[in-house]
Every structure is written in C-alpha cells, then in structure tokens.
Structure 1
C-alpha cells in the first residue's frame, strides 16, 4: 500500500471516529438531560410525599374517620410506590449517563490515537522525502564534481 493510500485510509478512519465521537457527545448530552429530569421529578415526588404526610399528620390531630384514614393510607402507599419507581428510573438514567460518558471518553481516545498515528506517518513520510532529496542533491554534487574532474 502506498503512503498516500495509507494516509487516505487513516483520514477516512479519522473522519469516522470523529463522527462516532460527535454521536457519543450527543448521546451524553441526551442522557444527562434525561438523568437531570428524572432526578428532578424524583425530588418533586419526594417533596410532595413529605408535604402530604405533614398535612395528614396535622389532620390526624383533629378528629377523623376511618374512611379518611384508609384513603390516606392507600394514597400514601401509591405515592411511596411512585417515589420508589421514580428513584429507580433516576438511578437507571444516571447509569446511562455514566455509560454515555465512558463511550464519549473512548471515542475521544480513538480520535486522539488516530490523529497521533497520522502525524507520525506524515513525519515519517517527510523524513523519507528529505532523505531522498538529500540523496539526489548528493548525487548531483558528486556528478558535478566528476564532470569538473574529468574536464580538468
């Protein structure tokens, strides 16, 4: 494979790696937004549950019926389930965010490695070209010296 073909292949790989990195960055952004929204909703539900418990604690201080207590308990259980469920959703969203961050980090490492490889290959190609040029210059100087020696 020629040096130009290898460079072209590496350039294509770099473009693909950059596209994958950009997609990973977008996925991280989306996962972060989802995690933040899930945590916020969990906080809202937990706050509402606390307010609800405080209101009913105050209501129990006054006379109340068993039907109202049963309604309180039923709704309280549903609210507890909703808070727990939302907590699990928030944890899963946080885990997705961590995985997305790791995927982005890996994609960035691939891009950096390809850039470094391309730079190394370009430096090697430049060094080879410089040696060829030096060899050609040396040969030209040697021939010129031989011609001058032959004419003298």
Structure 2
C-alpha cells in the first residue's frame, strides 16, 4: 500500500507514462512513413536509371527528333519526381527526428517522476526508521529505569 502523500505523484507518473506512450506511437508512425517514402524514392531512382539505360541503347541505334523530345520531357518529369520525393524524405526525416526528440523528453519526464517517487519513499522510510528507533530507545530507557527502580536504586520520583 502506498502512502497517501505519494498518490499525486503516482497520478503524475501515470499521466507522464501516457504522454510517453503517445509520443512513442507518433514516433513509430513517423518512422513508418519515412521508411515508405525512402522505399518509394529508391524505386523512383532505380526506375530512372533503368529508363535512361534502356533509352541510351536505343539512341545509339538512332531515333527521331520527336521521340527524343518525348524522352527528354519524360526524363525531366522523372527527375522532378525523384527530387520531389527527396524533399518528402527530408521533410519526413525532420518529422521523425522531432518525434524522437519528443519521445526522449517524455522518457525523461517519466524517469524524473519515478526518481522523485523513489526519493520520497526513501525519505519516508528513513523517517519511519528514525521514529521506530526513537520509540525503541525510549522503551528500552524506560525498561532500564524500571529495572533500577524495581531494585530500589532509583525512586520513580527521581525520574
């Protein structure tokens, strides 16, 4: 059973753990979105290289000017898509880093509250030990005085 004065701290701990769990969930979602964006970026990059290599071989054989313009337009759009995806990856990387920072801060809050509870419990245990020791010392002193009084050495009025 916990001491009633610690109850607000346990409520605070529960709240901090809830915030930490929410931060962890947001971080996991951000990490998943980042991984998906990175995979898409890699696919676009690989497709662009494959497309350029395939058409490079075709160009050595010769193509019409119209076909060359279509190729250049498509490659330009493909480069744009790769660049846009790179920007998306960068944005999601920043978001993930921000979420990681929030998670770390939430973890620190939980650890701080736990440490505070631990210190309070330690302080209360020491106070209880001191009180118990003082009580035992008083009882031992009274018993010693009583033994002396029973032997007739000291009268109870002298105590």
**Could you tell me the TM-score, scaled by structure 2's length?**
0.87
The CA distance in 1 between the partners of 2:87 and 2:130, in whole Å, is: 64
1:103: Cα distance to partner?
1.4
CA deviation vs aligned residue, 1:99-152 (integer Å, no higher than 9, x gap):
111111111111111111111110100000111111111222222233333332
How far is 1:18 from its partner?
Answer: 1.1
Question: 2:117 corresponds to which residue?
Answer: 118
State the aligned residue count. Answer: 150
In structure 1, runs of 5+ residues without a counterpart are: none
| Match of residue 103 from structure 1 | 102
- Let me know the Cα RMSD of the aligned residues: 1.6
Tell me, what secondary structure is at the counterpart of 1:125? helix
Shift of 1:5: 4.1
Alignment of 1:1-152 (within 5 A): 4-151=3-150, 152=152
* Alpha-carbon distance, 1:32 to partner: 1.2
Gap regions ≥5 residues in structure 2: 153-159
- Output one character per residue of 1:58-99: Cα deviation in whole Å (capped at 9) or x when no partner: 111123112111111111111111100000001111111111
Higher relative CO (Cα under 8 Å, sequence separation at least 6) belongs to 1
CA distance in 1, matches of 2:77, 2:121: 65
Task: Report the structure number with the largest CA radius of gyration.
Answer: 2
SS at match of 1:64: coil
Q: Secondary structure at the match of 2:53?
A: helix
* 3-state DSSP of counterpart to 2:62: coil
